Amino acid sequence: MRILAAMSGGVDSAVAAARAAQDGHDVTGVHLALARNPQTYRSGARGCCTLEDARDARRAADVIGIPFYVWDMAEEFHASVVDDFVAEYAAGRTPNPCLRCNEKIKFAAVLDRAVALGFDAVVTGHHARLGADGLLRRSVDAAKDQSYVLAVLTREQLDRSMFPLGDSTKAQVRAEAAARGLAVAEKPDSHDICFIADGDTRGFLAARLGEAPGDIVDAHTGDTLGTHRGAYAYTVGQRKGLDLRTPAEDGRPRYVLSITPKTNTVTVGSREDLAVHRVTGERAVWHGERTPVECEVQLRAHGEVVPAVVTVDGAGLTAELRVPARGVAAGQAVVAYRSDAAGDVVLGSATITTDRADD
Amino acid sequence: MLAEALDAYVDTARKVGNPSSLHAAGRDARRLVEESRERIAAVLGARPSEVIFTSGGTESDNLAVKGIFWARERPRLIASAVEHHAVMDSVAWLAAHQRATVHWLGVDHRGRVDPDALAEIVDEHGDEIAMISVQWANNEVGTLQPVPELSALAARAGIPLHTDAVQAAGAVPVDFAASGAAALTISGHKLGGPVGVGALLLGRDVPCTPVLHGGGQERDVRSGTLDAPGMVAFAVAVEVAVKNQQESATRLAVLRDDLIARVLDAVPGAVLNGDPADRLPGNAHFSFPGCEGDALLMLLDAQDVACSTGSACSAGVAEPSHVLLAMGADDDNARSSLRFTLGHDSTDTDVEALLAALPGAVERARRAAAWKTPR
Ligand SMILES: Cc1ncc(COP(=O)(O)O)c(C=O)c1O
């Protein structure tokens, strides 16, 4: 097959491309330039759009022996991921930009362009399994599993995707990179949001949304406990950085329960108040299993799984949780899994609409 | 590298690398460098003392622009809007960091500067102008500039004119004295010589402050021990290129015109960029509206057809060419362009191969560009 390898400049995508080439595919490497002005993203090993990353990707392609190009996706990335990120926070939700990038860029704009140019599929270095049965499963490396940010992909997108790393641990991938002579073998993982090079999400949002002071309100008494400089800087479940003038009566820590952009308030309560028994979602992607279905749901990246009964009705999804979950934020994904010895299978996903079902 | 130049390089490297004595080795190397200087001067209409050896086109351009600007201590600079980055960025740097006032000379849709526009600036600011830089031939669209006419105009006002002839030397007749230019850049690798070798032909009485200070080896304008094998190979390449210039230009122009006619015929919507007649013999440059140049390049690459888009930033992102923008193209049209370069080893077969691949590739690239429209 003619395969387009999306090469970020990291070790995972380099090994994925190498494996695809070794399997006899006709592989072409492409680095996605996502920064509007790559010069300004000169930020060391973090992020995914630095000059160094472009160079590392090119070097890896040379070593693998495949042609290599840079595609300028900055406009699309800014419109679909960065602007969306800011707008979601402004709306009181907590977006996952990696998920959005997969949904709108890597497996949409890039995949569409690749197909139009005559490629059959896109290969990436995501840690997830996509085998002959067509099912998307968790990686064997639970700590590195990325099925959560891929669950948004539709059947058509998955049919044109290859994830060759799903059966390997990160350690194995690094060892293989070294054995293949890929210089990125020891390159540190990128953890941060790639377009926020200094890791200061609050500062990034403040620069775009401006200071917008408002009240921090107690969920039970309705009392104003303090002020905030912008509700967008808070995430459901957050405890640190609340800086409350008035401590709670019971003296116990307070958590962010919800954010209400309309009144610019941040509502806080006790840890118990965070508990959620029911999660609703919109824009559901479902892979056909009949519902209601007894399964497990994951409610944020690297979050624990919770047993639940999931019902899908068109684009809507409801998960009745068997065990209450905490820190459930609108804008994150609810991903349903069926546990399976060969790797838990993704049944589908949706974007969470409720902060707390009890609201 | 040209076979003759490569042989000369290897022979010289062996000879000077194997000295009977240190003293003799130095003398040998010096003699070889001076002979090379004379040979280059002889075929390019310069005096030997006017040949300043450098590390290539980039250094020569930097030296001419910055060196003459510094030495003349006047606040204004004129440069065409279609210069190579080596000139353009030197000029821009002087503007940003040394308070130079820059007059960018615009070009028409074929990429030609207007001598009257130059005359106007010269008339108005004559005494304040440190230097003028206008390339001989454009490296993207191949358009030739009327250098002798511009030089004469500059000379009448007593302003040194530098011309970047990196693309022109060996491709079209270039004679330093006859051109009337005060300074002229050439580069080894564009002529079949080694990379990392070049020269600035610098008129004897043109003031120029060094960019590289040191031992003052090159007329006190440029310092650094010279690489004798590189210079010898460079001289051989210049000689061969100039000797073959006319014959090769005639052959290439026929091939180029055939390529242009057939591309315009075979690809709906294709547009030739640059001057249809006054252009480098080996240059064919097109826009393919509705395509992205980099997608097209990728598709042609896969079929072993070599071509190139404009420039890319350091991360490798294709940027709309400043040359095409200066010629009046919009961003999309600038991004839809591609250059095909014919050289001494190009033949009809290459043109055939290009035409076999191009129409399909354009059609596919146009379809691929459709994803850009909002979904
Ligand atoms: C018109 C022009 N000027 C300057 C240069 C730079 O020359 P060099 O690569 O020798 O530094 C080039 C090189 O491509 C060129 O085409």
Whether B77 and B213 map to the same domain: the answer is: yes
Can you say whether the dihedral through the CA atoms of A20, A25, A31, A34 is positive or negative? Answer: negative
Whether B327 and B270 map to the same domain: the answer is: yes
Q: Say whether A136 sits in a helix, a strand or coil.
A: strand
Whether B235 and B250 map to the same domain: the answer is: no
- B337 in any annotated domain: yes
Q: What's the CA gap between A50 and A57, in Å, rounded?
A: 11
Q: What's the CA gap between B185 and A98, in Å, rounded?
A: 49
Which carries the bigger pLDDT value, residue A298 or residue A250? A298
Contact between residue A342 and residue A297 where contact means Cβ atoms under 8 Å apart: no
Name the pTM for this structure.
0.86
- B375 in any annotated domain: no
For residue B86 and ligand 1, the question of a CB distance below 6 A is answered with yes
- B177 in any annotated domain: yes
Residue of chain B nearest A76, judged by CA positions: B372
- Domain end among B241, B276, B298: B241
Whether B208 and B292 map to the same domain: the answer is: no
Instruction: Residues A212-273: name the CATH superfamily.
Output: Adenine nucleotide alpha hydrolases-like domains (2.30.30.280)
For residue B58 and ligand 1, the question of a CB distance below 6 A is answered with yes
For residue B273 and ligand 1, the question of a CB distance below 6 A is answered with no
Whether B181 and B250 map to the same domain: the answer is: no
For residue B140 and ligand 1, the question of a CB distance below 6 A is answered with no
Here the tokens at position B228 are 């004798």
Q: How far does residue B286's CA lie from ligand 1's centre (Å)?
A: 21
Whether B264 and B328 map to the same domain: the answer is: yes
Whether B156 and B269 map to the same domain: the answer is: no
Whether B78 and B52 map to the same domain: the answer is: yes
- B374 in any annotated domain: no
Whether B261 and B193 map to the same domain: the answer is: no
Which residue numbers of A belong to the known binding site for ATP? Answer: 6-13, 32, 125
In total, how many domains does chain B have?
Answer: 2
- Domain end among B224, B241, B258: B241
Give the domain ranges of chain A: 2-186, 212-273, 275-358
The boundaries of the domain holding residue B283 are 245-369
Please name the CATH architecture into which domain A275-358 falls. Answer: Beta Barrel (2.40)
Here the tokens at position B213 are 């200070």
Whether B99 and B218 map to the same domain: the answer is: yes
Whether B65 and B172 map to the same domain: the answer is: yes
Q: Which of A48, A49, A98, A101 is catalytic?
A: A101
Contacts of B313 in chain A (CB under 8 A): 38-39
Whether B43 and B113 map to the same domain: the answer is: yes
**Tens-digit pLDDT string for chain B (375 aa):** 999 999 999 999 988 865 555 677 778 888 999 999 999 999 999 999 999 999 999 999 999 999 999 999 999 999 999 999 999 999 999 999 999 999 999 999 999 999 999 999 999 998 999 999 999 999 999 999 999 999 999 999 999 999 999 999 999 999 999 999 999 999 999 999 999 999 999 999 999 999 999 988 899 999 998 999 999 999 999 999 999 999 999 999 999 999 999 999 999 999 999 999 999 999 999 999 999 888 999 999 999 998 888 766 666 777 789 999 999 999 888 889 999 999 989 999 999 999 999 999 999 999 888 755 443
pLDDT digits (tens, 9 = 90+) for B111-129: 999 999 999 999 999 899 9
pLDDT band at residue A241 under the 50/70/90 scheme? confident
Judge whether A194 counts as a catalytic residue: yes
CB contact under 8 A, A69 and B371: no
Structural fold of domain A2-186? Rossmann fold (3.40.50)
CB contact under 8 A, A58 and B316: yes
Hey, whose CA ends up nearest to atom 9 of ligand 1?
Answer: B57
- B138 in any annotated domain: yes
- Domain end among B195, B220, B241: B241
Backbone φ, ψ for residue A267 (5° rounding): -100, 130
Amino acid at A298: Q
Backbone φ, ψ for residue A50 (5° rounding): -95, 165
CATH number, domain with residue B88: 3.40.640.10
CATH number, domain with residue B294: 3.90.1150.10
